[in-house]
Amino acid sequence: MTTRVDPNSPIHWPGAITLFGTTIAALILVPAYAWFNDYSTAAWVSFVVLAILNGMAITAGYHRLWAHRTYEAHWSVRVLLMFFGTMAVQNSVLIWASGHRTHHRHVDDTEHDPYSAKRGFWFSHMGWMIRQYESGKEDLSNSPDLLKDPLVMFQHKHYTALALGINFLFPTLIGFLVGDLWGVLLLGGLLRLVWCHQTTFFINSLAHIWGRRPYTDENTARDNDILAIFTYGEGYHNYHHLFQYDYRNGIKWYHIDPTKWLIAGLSFVGLTKNLKRCDTFAIEKARIAMQFKRAEEKLAHPSAMQAHVDAMKARLAQEYEHFSHALQEWAKLKEAWYQDTKTALKNGETLAAYKAKFKAMEVEMRLQRKRLQALVNQVQKPALAI
C-alpha cells in the first residue's frame, strides 16, 4: 500500500482554520501582550489548571471512558469530563471515539488508519485534520453504544455552539473574577487550547516514532516516559495498543499515569466502577515473547562467536520450552476456572485455591522474564565466557 499523502485532497477548512488560526494567534498575541503588560499569577494558574482539566478530560473521558469503555462513571463525572473535553476543541465524543476505534482496528494501515504514522510525522500529527482524506471519512458503525448515549448525542448535536460558548464564556468569567480578563483569555484561553492540541497530537505522531516496544513490534506504537508526563499517562502507547481495554496505560506503580490515578481514585468514593485490568499473565506473556524475538535476532548477528551462539541457543530453547509449558498450564487452569464457574462450583474455598494458582503462575512468568533478560544481556557480550 502506498504511503503517499495526496496533496490534491480538498482542504478541511474548519480544521485548518481552527488549528492554524489558534496557533498563529497564540504565537503573536501571547508575547505581544507580555511586551506591554505583565501576566498575573492568576492568569498563569488558569493556564495550568485549565490545561490539566482539558487534558485529563480527553484522556480519562474521550479516550479511556468513551472510546475504549475501560470503566464506568457516575453521571456527574461524565458531565464534567464532557464539559472540559468539549473545551479542548477536539471534536465531539462521537467523532473522536469512533475515529479512534478505527485507528486501533487498522493501526498503521495507510489506507484505513485515519492518522497512520506510516504516512509521516506531519500527517499523523496534524495533517490528517487539515485535508479531507479518504482514510478520514466518518464511519459510525463501530459506535452503536455511543449513538444510544443521550449525553454523547446531545454534545454531538450542539458541539459547535458548546465549544465556542465554553471557550469564550468560561475564561471570561474567570478573568473577571481574578481581575485579569485579557491575561486569562490569552493564557487560560488561547495558549491553553494550543498546548492541549499539541500534546494530544503528539500521541498520534511522536508516540509512534520515539520510544521502546516492550510488548509488541507488530505496530509502530512506543512507550515513552517523557511523553507520559505531558499527556497524563498516554505515553505508554505500546502497552495501550496491545491492551487497549485496560483502564491503565502505565501498569507499574512508578509509571507516570495521572489518568489512571484519577480513575482509580474516583472508584474509592464510588464515582467510577468496573475498572478493567488486563490479565497479568497475558502481559508477561507478551513481554517474554518480545524478549525471545530480540534474543533470536541478536543470536543471528554474524559477529557473534559460534561457540557462544550455540550455547545461547541451547539456553534459549530451554527457556522457550519452559515458556510453552507455562502457557499450556495457564490454558488448563483457565478452562478449569470456566468450567467451575459454569457448574456453580466456585465457592469460597475453590476461589481461593484458583487465586493462589494464578498468582503462582504469574510469579513464575516474572521470574522467567528476568532470566530471559539476563540471557539477552549475555548475548550482547559474546566475548564473555558462559
Dist CA 103 CA 383 (whole Å): 45
| Terminal Cα-to-Cα distance of the chain (whole angstroms) | 46
pLDDT at 330: 61
- Confidence check: pLDDT of 180 > 70: yes
Specify the pLDDT at position 384: 40
Task: Give the mean model confidence (pLDDT) for residues 267-277.
Answer: 97
Q: Give dist(CA 340, CA 336) in Å, integer.
A: 6
Average pLDDT over residues 121-145: 94
Q: Average pLDDT of 37-65?
A: 97
SS (H, E, C) the chain: CCCCCCCCCCECHHHHHHHHHHHHHHHHHHHHHHHHCCCCHHHHHHHHHHHHHHHHHHHHHHHHHHHCCCCEECHHHHHHHHHHHHHCCCCCHHHHHHHHHHHHHCCCCCCCCCCCHHHCHHHHHHHHHHECCHHHCCCHHHCHHHHCCHHHHHHHHCHHHHHHHHHHHHHHHHHHHHCCHHHHHHHHHHHHHHHHHHHHHHHHCHHHCCCECCCCCCCCCCECHHHHHHCCCCCEHHHHHHCCCCCCCCCCCCCCCHHHHHHHHHHHCCCEECCCCCCHHHHHHHHHHHHHHHHHHHHCCCCCCHHHHHHHHHHHHHHHHHHHHHHHHHHHHHHHHHHHHHCCCCCHHHHHHHHHHHHHHHHHHHHHHHHHHHHHHHHCCCCCCC
Report yes or no: 326 and 364 within 8 Å, Cβ to Cβ.
yes
Alpha carbon 13 to chain centroid, angstroms: 28
With both helix axes pointing from N to C terminus, report the angle between 93-105 and 150-157 in degrees, rounded to the nearest 10. Answer: 110
What pLDDT is attached to residue 238? 97
7-11, 13-17, 115-119, 154-158: segment of lowest average pLDDT: 7-11
**214 falls in which pLDDT band (50, 70, 90)?**
very high
pLDDT, average across residues 129-153: 94
Lowest mean pLDDT among 43-57, 164-178, 316-330: 316-330
In this prediction, residue 385 carries a pLDDT of 37
Split at pLDDT 50, 70, 90, the class of 279 is: confident
Does 228 have pLDDT greater than 80? yes
**With 90 as the cut, is the pLDDT of residue 189 above it?**
yes
| 301 or 359, higher pLDDT | 359
Query: Which has the higher per-residue pLDDT, 139 or 70?
Result: 70
Average pLDDT over residues 372-384: 59
What distance in Å separates the CA atoms of residue 108 and residue 113, rounded to the nearest whole number?
A: 6
**C-alpha distance from residue 66 to each of 60, 78, 271 (Å):** 9, 10, 16
Averaged confidence pLDDT in the chain: 87
> What is the pLDDT confidence band of residue 160, given thresholds at 50, 70 and 90?
very high
The alpha carbon dihedral of 312, 313, 319, 322 has a sign of negative
Each residue's pLDDT tens digit, 71-107: 999 999 999 999 999 999 999 999 999 999 999 999 9
Identity at 188, one-letter amino acid code:
G
User: What mean pLDDT is predicted for residues 53-82?
Assistant: 98
Rounded Cα distance, 90 and 98, in Å: 13
| 282 band by pLDDT with thresholds 50, 70 and 90 | confident
Confidence band of 281 (pLDDT split at 50, 70, 90): confident
Please name which of 279, 280, 319, 285 lies closest in space to residue 299, comparing C-alpha atoms: 319
The answer to whether the CB of 269 falls within 8 A of the CB of 242 is no
Question: What average pLDDT does the segment 156-162 reach?
Answer: 98
> What is the pLDDT, as a whole number, of residue 1?
42
Condensed to tens digits (0 to 9), the pLDDT of residues 101-111 reads 999 999 999 99
Distances (CA, A) of 123 to 4, 58, 75, 127, 300: 10, 21, 36, 4, 36
Of 116-130, 276-290, 323-337, the least confident: 323-337
Q: Are 44 and 51 in contact (CB under 8 A)?
A: no
Residue 220: its pLDDT value, please? Answer: 96
**CA triple 160-163-169, angle to 5 deg:** 125
What is the model's pLDDT at position 225?
95
- Grid cell in block for residue 277: 485490568
Dist. CA 203–CA 221, nearest whole Å: 9
pTM: 0.84
What's residue 316's pLDDT? 61
Handedness of CA 106, 104, 253, 274 (dihedral sign): negative
